[in-house]
Amino acid sequence: MIKGSPSFQPFSEKPISLIGENGEWTGSFDLTLDDGELESFYRDLVAARVLDERLVRLQRMGKISFVAPSSGHEGPQVAVARSVRKGRDWLYPYYRDTALVMALGVPVAETVGQMMATRADPNKGRQMPAHAGSKELNVFAVASPIASHIAPAVGTAISMKLQGKGDVVVTTFGEGATSEGDFHAAINFAGAQGAPIVFVCQNNRYAISVGYNRQTAAENIAAKARAYGMPGYTVDGMDPLACYYVIREAVERAREGVGPALVEANVYRYGPHSPADDDTRYRPAEEVESWRKRDPLIRMRRFLEKRGLWDDDQEKKMREEIDEEQRKAVQQAEASGKVPREWMFDDVYSEVPEHLAEQRDSLG
C-alpha cells in the first residue's frame, strides 16, 4: 500500500517489531526515512521524555496540580504525529499524550501554560491539567472521562468521508478505555460506516491499578477488531519505528477509503498513573526494571549508533539544547500571568446574555 514498505499482517501472533533490542534493523524492507528524519525522530522522543520529567518536577513543586506521566509511551505517540498531515487530519488524544502533541507542533509554552492555567493556555484555563488541544492543528481538546472522546472522533471521521476531502482521524486511548461502552459503540459505528479513522490503543497493561488480565479476557486488544470488521495490529510499542510504519500504513489505508483499523501498541508506563497513585502497591519493582531495559529511547539511540549517525557528543549537545528550550518555555508560560476570571464567560455565546454580563461585570 505504501511505496517502499510492505503491508503488515493483522492479528499476528507476536507484536510487530522492526528494531531489535540491541538496535539492529530486523525489518524485511528498506527504510524509507533518511538520516535527518531518523535523527529528528529520536530528538522528538528525547524531548518528550525531558518534558515529562520536567512536568513531574513542576507538580512536586506545587506549580501544577495534576500530571499524567507519559514516559515509556513515546514510541506510538511520536509515530502518530509523524503519520498524519498536520493541520488537515484530526487528532482525538487522551490525557497521557504529551509526546504526541509536542511532536505534532504544539509549543511547549502552550503545553506548560495549559498545565499551569496561565495566559499561555489557549484553553483559557478552563480545562484541568494534561488536557491539551489545538485549533490550528485540529487537536480536539482532551476530555477526562475514559473513552468519551472516541465517539466524537468517529463522528468527525464520518464527516470527513462525506466531505470527500481525504482527511483522516486518529484517536488514542489506553487499554482500559476498551472496557467502556463508548469504545464499543464508537468502533462498531466506524466499522459499519467504513469511517476513515485509526484507533490507537497504548496498552501499558494497567488501568490505573487494575492489571490487564482483570480488565478483559481477550488475548490482546487488537483481537477486539475482529468483532467490528476491521484489521487489528499488535505492535511492539517500545520500538518507535515499528509504531511509525504500522500506524502510517493504517492512516494511509484509511485515507484511501479502505476503512478503519485498530492498532495496539504494547508500551509501559514507568511512572504512576498520576500523583495520587502509589504504583508500588500493585506492581513489583522488578517488573518496572525489566521494562526499563526495553526503553524506546535506548533502543532508538542504539539503532542510530549502529548506523553511524549518533555519538555521545551529539547526545550531550542535543539534551542541552532541549533543556534550554524547555526552560525558556516554562519561564514564558509562567511570565504570561494568571488567567483573568472574566475569561470564563468567553466563547460560549456570540452575545453574552444580560444576566451573565452582569455577573461578569460584578467581578470587578
DSSP lists the bridge partners of residue 151 as none
Q: Are 271 and 71 in contact (CB under 8 A)?
A: yes
- Is residue 273 part of the annotated active site? The answer reads yes
Calculate helix-pair angle for 312-335, 108-116, nearest 10 degrees.
Answer: 50
Q: Are 343 and 124 in contact (CB under 8 A)?
A: yes
DSSP conformational letter for 281: G
Catalytic residue among 205, 273, 299, 301: 273
C-beta neighbour count of 130 within 10 angstroms: 23
Q: Are 18 and 294 in contact (CB under 8 A)?
A: no
For the CA atoms of 39, 42, 46, 51, the dihedral, rounded to the nearest 10 degrees, stands at 90
Cell readout for 69 is: 506521566
Catalytic residue among 269, 270, 299, 301: 269
Q: Are 292 and 285 in contact (CB under 8 A)?
A: no
> Which stretches does DSSP call E strand in the chain?
90-92, 169-174, 197-203, 206-207, 210-211, 232-236, 261-266
Task: Report d(CA 141, CA 4) in Å as an integer.
Answer: 35
DSSP lists the bridge partners of residue 266 as 203, 236
Task: Report d(CA 122, CA 110) in Å as an integer.
Answer: 7
> Which residues fall within 8 angstroms of residue 289, CB to CB, at 6 or more apart?
none
Catalytic residue among 43, 184, 282, 294: 282
Q: Count the residues in the chain.
A: 364
The DSSP code sequence of 326-348 is HHHHHHHHHHT-BPPGGGGGTTS
> Which stretches does DSSP call E strand in 241-311?
261-266
Residue 51's H or E segment, with its range, is helix 35-60
Q: Which residues are catalytic?
A: 269, 273, 282
